Amino acid sequence: MSKRKILFSYLVTYLIIITVLFLVIGSFSYYYIMRVEEEKAKTEMKQAVNRMVGVMDANLRGVINISSSLYNNLDVSRIRKLDASFESREFMRFLSMSNTLTRHTSTSQFLDRIIIYFHNNQLFIASDMLGSRPEIFYNLAFPNEVIDYDQWRDIQIKHKPGVYFVTQDSPDGYVNLYYRLPIVDPRKGVTVIAGIRVGELINNLGLTEKYKDSAIILTDSEGNILYSNREIGSTLVHFAENNLDGTNVQVGESNYEWCSQKLSLLDWKVSFFVSAKNIYADSKKTQQNFIIVYISVLVSSILLAVLFSKRISDPVVSLIDLIDGWDNISNRAVDDAGKNSYVSFFTKNLNYVLRRVTDFSNDYTNLVSRVQEYKQISREMFYNRLLKGEIISPTEIKMLEEDSILNYKYYTVALARIISNERESVDIAMFASSEMFSNMNEKGLYFGKTAFDRFAIIICRNDLPDKEEIEDVIKSLQDNAYFDSLVSLRWGIGDTVTNHDQIYVSYRNAEYALHGHSMDTLDSELIVWYDKERQNNRLTYNFDDAQRIYALIC
């Protein structure tokens, strides 16, 4: 048998083994990796939708609480029974109610305006103005409405009470949310209109920055588009409604993956559409890298098969050489040099494979980091809910038992306001405060941003803190805050409460403390304490409001 036939027989055996292994293991690995990549992309998409729904529910809960609370408001009950001929003293009550509504909107970036419309006397009381002439107020407050005032009024009177609804599309993201109080007589009914910045809230999440070719669409049960960041929003929603069993829609030459979820508080639905090219961009890169690695390993395996076949066939060839009397041993040195080059090539490809494994490990580490970031955001949202006094269900408490904020006996809220004449300085100071104070949970201090220029520190203790201890904590925080000379902090301190579900009481105390102090000057006063006696005896309106009442009457 010739040397070539011996080498070929070994080589064919190795090639058959390599082919079978690569067809089975390679195909299975390719299918598994691509499926994992696609599932990871879809999971990230669903997490984005869940995040939007969670943020929307959290902000809408406050709006709904305000609207519902007006049903039991004595002033609302009295005004809705009045005739249209108002006495002068009634305007003071109207203005007082307007100021109450203003306090709700001034502490919320989501709630822009609240309007109360009384059906009987056609009076409008808003958080920013009053209106006893309904046609004029309607044209000013609702410039985008396509119907006149009489038609609009007829809708409010005939609509079912106790149901939240909208009257038209608002793709720009500014939604007027209507709610007719559950009053039997529609002629003496009351409608509450909340102007909410849905688009601004969604844009602040920054979800479209990662997926450039994407669309976020918010719709209600009637099909009204409440927000859409793309002109093709209505087309995408139409195709999605006709393709309930699928997770992708075709619009023109573009293919979109989509998922949707309804809000828990209202019958609204958030739909997120992402171009397949965008969402599977990382999958395509992984696919290309896998194919390159697959081909490299295959070529390396074939070369190793040739090398091993040559090594194994050498003794047989040597025996044949001895029998036939061949004497060409001097050529072996050349063969050894060739073997070394094959080994070097294999080593390079092995190093490349190891680098790819390292890349996968880094991707996993980044994913874990993002999960931790989502957990931190969820905790901050939970702290804000405690500050606002929202009801925490037993199920949520059980899920959050690991959070140490629930395990203290005493809680005191310190509300800080950033004072500066420069908006940029306020933004920089707020970012610095978040970085410095967000990781102090081990000291019993929990940070929560409540407005663009305010943040709260929940001071948690197992022993009842005195005034000196609170002052020491605030001064310690103040010493750690490095702001420029154009910025100062003023702290309002609320009463100490004994349960986590009373934190909002301390928070409101701190708000009252700050509200009763001038915020327009940069002075040296650091801490303002809540004064219960002063709050109980303060005037219902100040001098500026009195001037406004006088001008309105005259």
Which helix (H) or strand (E) segment holds residue 146: the answer is: none
Q: Which two tokens stand for residue 219?
A: 């719709």
Domain ranges of the chain: 3-47+281-371, 73-200, 206-279, 396-544
Which residue, 487, 535, 545, is CA-closest to 510?
Answer: 535
What pLDDT is stored for residue 114 in this prediction? 93
Rounded to 10 degrees, what is the CA torsion of 193, 199, 202, 207? 170
What pLDDT is stored for residue 537 in this prediction? 46
Tell me if 509 sits within 8 A of 533, measured CB to CB.
no
Tell me if 236 sits within 8 A of 273, measured CB to CB.
yes
In sequence order, the β-bridge partners of residue 370 are none
Q: How far apart are CA 539 and CA 549, in angstroms?
A: 15
Q: Where does 175-250 have alpha helices with state H?
A: 198-203, 207-210, 233-241
Which residue, 130, 137, 60, is CA-closest to 100?
Answer: 130
Strand intervals (E) in 362-475: 410-419, 445-451, 454-461
What pLDDT is stored for residue 237 in this prediction? 82
Q: Which CATH class is domain 206-279?
A: alpha beta
Mean pLDDT per segment of 10 residues, for the chain of length 554 residues? Answer: 66 77 76 78 86 90 88 88 82 88 87 92 90 91 89 91 86 87 89 91 82 86 85 81 71 81 89 82 72 80 76 65 52 51 59 67 78 75 85 72 78 92 87 84 85 91 91 87 80 91 91 70 66 52 50 59
Topology of the domain comprising 396-544: Alpha-Beta Plaits (3.30.70)
Q: How far from 384 is each of 372, 434, 450, CA to CA, in Å?
A: 19, 14, 7
Pairing type for strands 454-461 and 410-419 reads: antiparallel
Helix, strand and coil percent figures for the chain, each rounded to 5: 55, 20, 25
